[in-house]
Chains A and B, each alone.
Chain A
Amino acid sequence: NMGITRDRTHKRRKTGGRREQLRKKRKFELGRPPSLTKIALAGTVKRVHTVRVRGGGIKLRGLRLDTGNFSWPSRGVARKTRIIDTVYNASNNELVRTKTLVKNAIVLIDATPFRQWFESHYLLPLARKKEKKSAPKAADKPADGADKEGADPGAAGGPISFTRSKKTMKKYLERQKKAEVPPALLEQFASGRLYACLTSRPGQCGRADGYILEGKELDFYLRKIRAKKTK
């Protein structure tokens, strides 16, 4: 698409004077239209096109994406999760309305992989509703070596309900000391959706990766989102 260029010769000088056209548009100055990556709807498949770029390389132009690799910075874990919705964009409200995925967009992601990790790492329930099945010590005994991965993720309190030897419990008790999750995040886990910020550029690499918002940054964006809702 030769219509879009990245040259500067069409711009005015600093003094305000016009610049004459020295030459026609060249291919090395070309630009391409924006990809405007959208969230892939529930039934549809993700769509990524390849583009051959200058020098022979490839850019992966994400057009429809549904999942991304999101990290939880304070815990140092990353999981592949489904992207549910766009929620805020600092540059353009239109991008939120059209559910366009761009770098630094604030999105809602599915919380389940992170909850699963948390519960198996700390052996503490994360934002579970009060009436859970009272089976803290299930009948299953762990295999030698304290295998905790065998739990069915769908069962209530899966990994938590294994009994473990004292030695392995010591490891978990140590971890539990640092397990506390701030209330702002707890609410999000209870609803099953976390606020996250995209850090990858979907139109360049074909991925929508990012990190879960925490702390001051989370407060900042929550305020912005609420302000928009009340308008």
Chain B
Amino acid sequence: MAELNERAFQKQEVRGKKGRRNHYVKNVGLGFKTPREAIEGSYVDKKCPFTGNVHIRGRIFTGVVTKMKMQRTIVIRRDYLHFVQKYQRYEKRHKNMSVHLSPCFRDVELGDIVTVGECRPLSKTVSFNVIKVSKARGGSKKTSFQKF
């Protein structure tokens, strides 16, 4: 990640207690555990749900990681079945979603299953934030259909 080349000093915008030296970490709620990396780490990310200025509210989805080429954001793929009334059968559909990935989730790979929560718009296409990562089952390809 090209964070070391930033042109402005990266620091956390901490509201509240002035004397606190530590990293500000919050509990996202809804039963999601704050990763240890978020508490102990020293990264600065204002869009991180645990150490930044976003709140998780609204929808919670899960998806598979398909692309990790962007800085601090990934593309996930959500598969679902759509029922066709006339034929009484299902068809496969999918939607891609750009999702913000905080630096506290370090070992994320393609094919991992990821839980994302809705937050306010972070960019033109990103309104969701990764709040949990669970490893992929062995041998599943990223483009194959995975229903949850």
Interface code A193-231, partner B: CB below 8 Å = 1, 0 otherwise? 000000000000000000000001100110010000000
Chain B residues positioned under 8 Å from A104 (CB to CB): 8
With CB as the reference atom, state the residue of chain A lying closest to B10: A220
Residue of B nearest to A76 (CB): B18
Q: Mark A102-119, 1 if CB is under 8 A from B, else 0.
A: 001000000000000000
Interface 1/0 per residue, B7-27 and A, CB below 8 Å: 111010000000000000000
Q: Find out whether the CB atom of B8 lies under 8 angstroms from the CB atom of A90.
A: yes
Known: A11-B124, A14-B125. A217 touches B11 (CB 8 A): yes
In the complex, residue of chain B having the shortest beta-carbon distance to the beta carbon of A104: B8
Interface size grouping (class) on chain B: under 10
Q: How far is the CB of A215 from chain B (nearest CB, A)?
A: 10
What count of chain A residues pass the 8 Å CB interface test?
A: 11
For residue A91, CB closer than 8 A to chain B, the reply is yes
Using CB atoms, name the residue of chain B closest to A219: B9
Question: Within the assembled complex, what's the spacing in Å between the Cα atoms of A216 and B11?
Answer: 10
- Cα distance A14–B8 in the bound complex, in angstroms: 29
Of B7, B9, B11, most A-chain CB atoms within 10 Å:
B9
Question: Smallest distance from the beta carbon of B18 to chain A beta carbons, Å?
Answer: 9
- Residues of chain A within 8 A (CB-CB) of B124 are 8, 11, 14
Which B residues form the contact surface with A (CB < 8 A)?
Answer: 6-9, 11, 98, 124-125
Beyond A14-B98, A104-B8, list 5 extra A-B contacts (CB 8 Å).
A14-B125, A90-B7, A91-B7, A91-B8, A217-B11
17 pairs across A/B with beta carbons < 8 Å? A8-B124, A11-B124, A14-B98, A14-B124, A14-B125, A90-B6, A90-B7, A90-B8, A91-B7, A91-B8, A104-B8, A216-B9, A217-B9, A217-B11, A220-B9, A221-B9, A224-B7
